[in-house]
Amino acid sequence: MPQQTKRNQTMNSIYFIFQDWTANQKNTKGRIILILFRMANLCARKKINYYIGFPYLIFYKIFVEWILSIEIPWNLKVGKNLKLFHGQCLVINKKAIIGENCTLRHCTTIGNKKLRNGSMSRSPTIGNNVDIGSNACIIGDINIGDNVVIGSGAVVVKNIRSNSLAVGNPASEKSI
């Protein structure tokens, strides 16, 4: 492999790991958690790194998920500039998809739900520039559009259009 290509791959990996750094200014805990997540995500994305990085993935599972109580699975699809505020009690299903420039606050759940026939639904897809308040619950096979604000304590079980505000239980949608 040419030297320049190897250097580009290294720089891309470093950029990938630190892509949330600027978005989490003055948020040391958020920075640390997201660096640990991005490193684990990098290990999971590339099969050779997965086998080499397996001990790191075990460390990540124990430290981030068990000790810090933040369930961000290492194979979660997340866009750049994710912001974590007060990262306790955060639970995200591994099949969820989160866009770019999103903000997550503490006690938030993003996951699937049990359907009437006993099977499990798909997980939410969250667009870009979504701001999710604390103690929000977003569950089921739903789509959250771009530029959405989800209020604290909202229970979102239906699609939310772009440029909307979702508040309440169950959440009702208002244009912003």
| Interior/surface letters 67-95, b for 16+ CB within 10 angstroms, e for the rest | ebebbbbbebebbbbbbbbebeebbbbeb
Question: Does the pLDDT at position 87 exceed 80?
Answer: no
- Residue 6: the pLDDT is 58
Q: What is the CATH number of domain 3-175?
A: 2.160.10.10
Determine the pLDDT at residue 5: 65
Q: What are phi and psi of 94, to 5 degrees?
A: -65, -20
Output the pLDDT for position 2: 57
Residues 6-18: pLDDT tens digits?
A: 566 666 878 888 9
SS3 content of the chain, % helix, strand, coil (to 5): 30, 25, 45
| Mean pLDDT of the residues in the chain | 89
C-alpha–C-alpha distance, residues 100 and 107, integer Å? 20
Tokens encoding 107: 């006690």
| Confidence band of 45 (pLDDT split at 50, 70, 90) | confident
Whole-structure pTM value: 0.88
In sequence order, the 6+-apart residues with CB closer than 8 A to the CB of 137 are 108, 109, 154, 155, 156
Contact (Cβ atoms closer than 8 angstroms) between residue 54 and residue 17: no
Q: How confident is the model at residue 43 (pLDDT cuts 50, 70, 90)?
A: confident
Confidence at 170, pLDDT banded by 50, 70, 90 = confident
